[in-house]
Structure 1
Amino acid sequence: MLYKRHNRLKEVLKKRQPHLTVLMEDIHKPHNLSAIIRTCDAVGILDIHVVNKNGNYPTFSKISQGSDKWVFITSYNNINDAINTLKHRQFKIYAAHFSNIAIDYRNVNYTEPIAILLGAEKWGVSKEASQLVDGHITIPMLGMVQSLNVSVAAAVILFEAQRQRLEAKMYTKIQLSPKTYSKILFEWSYPNISELYKKNGRQYPALEENGQILEGNVLI
């Protein structure tokens, strides 16, 4: 592995924010999903959560620009399971949703563990999901249209989250545990070799400072 590339992977991983995430409910258009994933990578999100009634989440590679390789995706069969999982991990969940209790998206504290729920392109967040979350947020609109495209809305909200976290200096200190950091760094550095280790139930070998595998007996 080239030393320059290894340093790039480390710098990106050091800024990953495990306590900021997105939950997508039935977003079925590949270009929207891919654009959201790309934004997630840009603001340092580590993993995202997807609920799709069809059981898949197609991405459009020309838009995601490969960012789906750097953002982990967890899929669920229903919204209830997804929300319960995030709440069990102590996330507050805010839905981008018009309602009489919705607040301006800028009035949320994004330095806390927080998940942003985004609904389907045409229908928005489901009634069930809107009742399960901790709150609703909206983006003020001053023109004739009532809402933004879902991927644009995601970018607006997530860059506000990034702004708050930058001010709180949350990107200057590694947010991942040493174990998780080392694990992901190896998987990013050696995706094919890491799959072989997982298949054989073996612990990943350590990496040298330049990114080379420390062990001599790499599984083949």
Structure 2
Amino acid sequence: MPKAANGRTRDAVRDLPILASPVPEHPLDAQMTAARVARYRQVLLRRTGRIAVVVEDCHDPHNATAVTRTCDAFGINRLHVIVGETPYRVNRRVSGGSHHHVNIRTHVDIEEAYAELRRDGFKIAVSGLSDDALAGPQHLLPVLKSQPLALVFGNEHTGASEFADSQADMRFLIPMVGFAQSLNVSVSAAITLYTLRQEALTNATEGDLSDEQQRQLYDEWVRRYRGEAGEKYLRRLGRGDEPLDVYHP
């Protein structure tokens, strides 16, 4: 986040134009600061559901968590992590809380993730060095304008699996001119997402989540933030919603 003149972290969201939020007043708003209440709403207004990120075979919790933070920073709501038989662990120091605000979906294998993405209407683009790879993520922009797009990033050393590559709709690469021909997965994701989101980020454009999606996510975020204390408060108010499972990775 940017630094103010005094060296303290400055909240970049405060510099963005304030947009009218479809999220109504929430019972837990009174238990949070006005700044947090406003920030949650403004962040949701700029989230996109048209881009999903898929991380395959990333066993380093640092790298996987860094991708989560990257998704949050660029307004991506949906992250798929292929974990195999290994539980997904969040590195809290790296996350900075981002894992609370990104929809993280874990899968045993890439086949399961692809099936879900196909059902939801996504085109799938995998990062790799194949001969038919588009030279630069900017070439994915025309696809994104017509259809939701899932971006698949494989292992830093071996790349995407054979299934991930062969079953993707297209391939792309980040051109490099040095001796290195691969990047850390979080760096690759950051370059790609910034390229695809540059216009929206520069102009602080409103996102594309529906009003209902924003209301649902807001409810999840504030209840997760307030934890059990928030759940007890809601029960005292007689709110009839099923309790949210508070996420404690």
TM range (shorter): 0.7 to 0.9
Identity %, equivalent residues: 32
Render the CA deviation track for 1:72-93: whole Å, top value 9, x for unaligned.
1111111111111101111111
Aligned to 1:106: 138
* Residues 184/94 of structure 1: CA separation in 2 closer, same or farther (3 Å cut): same
Cα distance in 2 for residues equivalent to 1:194 and 1:125? 43
Cα distance in 2 for residues equivalent to 1:4 and 1:217? 27
SS at match of 2:48: coil
Aligned to 1:24: 55
Unpaired runs of at least 5, structure 2: 1-31, 244-249
Matches within 5 A, 1:43-54: 43-54=74-85
Aligned to 2:171: 136
Cα distance in 2 for residues equivalent to 1:179 and 1:54? 34
Aligned to 2:156: 121
Render the CA deviation track for 1:5-52: whole Å, top value 9, x for unaligned.
100100001111011110111111111111111110000011211112
Unpaired runs of at least 5, structure 1: 198-211
- Larger mean CA deviation between 2-11 and 184-193 belongs to 184-193
Which of 218, 221, 233 in structure 2 is aligned with 1:185? 218
Q: Indicate if the aligned counterparts of 2:200 and 2:206 stay in contact, CA closer than 8 A.
A: no
SS at match of 1:46: strand
SS at match of 1:116: strand
Cα distance in 2 for residues equivalent to 1:87 and 1:154? 21
Aligned to 1:159: 194
Aligned to 1:205: none
Q: Indicate if the aligned counterparts of 1:14 and 1:174 stay in contact, CA closer than 8 A.
A: yes
Structure 1 length-normalised TM = 0.83
Structure 2 length-normalised TM = 0.74
Cα distance in 2 for residues equivalent to 1:96 and 1:194? 43
Cα distance in 1 for residues equivalent to 2:231 and 2:36? 22
Q: Indicate if the aligned counterparts of 2:156 and 2:182 stay in contact, CA closer than 8 A.
A: no
Count of equivalent residues: 203
What amino acid is the match of 1:17?
Answer: T
What amino acid is the match of 2:72?
Answer: D
Render the CA deviation track for 1:77-133: whole Å, top value 9, x for unaligned.
111111111011111111011101101222111444111101123211001110111
SS at match of 1:24: strand
Matching of residue 10 in structure 1 with residue 45 in structure 2: no
How much has 1:165 moved relative to structure 2?
A: 3.9
Task: Give the CA RMSD over aligned residues.
Answer: 2.5
Render the CA deviation track for 1:149-175: whole Å, top value 9, x for unaligned.
2111111111111114447x7x53342
Cα distance in 1 for residues equivalent to 2:51 and 2:229? 26
* Residues 74/141 of structure 1: CA separation in 2 closer, same or farther (3 Å cut): same
SS at match of 2:49: coil
Cα distance in 2 for residues equivalent to 1:87 and 1:66? 29
What amino acid is the match of 1:175?
Answer: D
Q: Indicate if the aligned counterparts of 1:15 and 1:175 stay in contact, CA closer than 8 A.
A: yes
Cα distance in 2 for residues equivalent to 1:195 and 1:183? 16
